[in-house]
Amino acid sequence: MSASFTCNRCGTFGCDACAFSPLAALLVCRACAAGGLAEPIPWERRKELGFIRAFWETTKLLYRAPTAFFRTPLTESGAMGPISYGLVAYTLGQLVWNFVMLIGLAMTSGVTGIALDEGQLGGMMAGYFICVLAIVIPVTLTQAPIQGLIALLGGGGLSHLTLRMMKSANTPFEGTLRAVSYANGPYLLYAVPCVGPFIGWGFMIVLEVIALKEAHRIGTDRAAVAVLGYRFLLLGLLVGAYALLAGAAYLLPTTMR
């Protein structure tokens, strides 16, 4: 079979059967894609697979084989596809967390009321939390995508800036944004009662490190600095601001005497 394309990674010629990506601008041979998934990322084939199946299959692969996942070549142009996955994962995570928390509070109120022989009060509190849930769900559906987009753009931008400062940004900002967007998958773990946010956030940090490592082809240490550096800086600034406020609140009565 005659050659029909040139691989964008290694520069070798290949036939149609050797192409991993269907897009002319993103053509990669299967040899260069060997370290990734056997097939393109399901979310980037959502028109073929369907929205729900593509989301579910992508999330499973992201959890089970993160290194291979982030080594998989692009099969769609732009960052809007990965961003949409990240926003869906973030929104679903917020929804399930609010649902689990408020349902848990409603059940606890009811059981506590029965145990204290205050069944009416317990029922009223349980009803209150159910009503709050009915309000929270539409509010979350409205606000979560906006909050998620701000977090993706802000976090991705700061990570990419850190990599540029370390002279380790080996791919455009679009590549960084794609990486951190897919790393939002663990937000679904917020469904785990009590410890879900801790597990989900911790796993997300791990995935971001792997994602930036593979996207920019750098060491784990530099990827970790890009992921954690700005977060520690912001935390330090926040703690410092609270310390200044506390100090001012303590000294102000003294100076007014």
User: Span 83-91, mean pLDDT?
Assistant: 94
Q: What are the tens digits of pLDDT across the range 100-126? A: 777 766 666 666 666 665 556 666 666
Mean pLDDT of the chain: 82
pTM of the model: 0.79
What CA–CA distances, in Å, run from 166 to 196, 221, 226, 229? 34, 11, 9, 12
For residue 203, how far is the Cα from the chain centroid? 9
- Distance in angstroms (rounded) separating the CA atoms of residues 127 and 137: 16
- Distance in angstroms (rounded) separating the CA atoms of residues 34 and 5: 18
Distance between first and last Cα of the chain: 91
- Tokens representing 50? 């369907």
Query: Reduced to 3 states, what is the DSSP secondary structure of residue 34?
Result: coil
- Distance in angstroms (rounded) separating the CA atoms of residues 30 and 44: 17
The yes-or-no verdict on residue 69 having pLDDT over 60 is: yes
The yes-or-no verdict on residue 33 having pLDDT over 80 is: no
Q: What are the tens digits of pLDDT across the range 133-171? A: 777 778 888 888 999 999 999 999 999 999 999 999 988
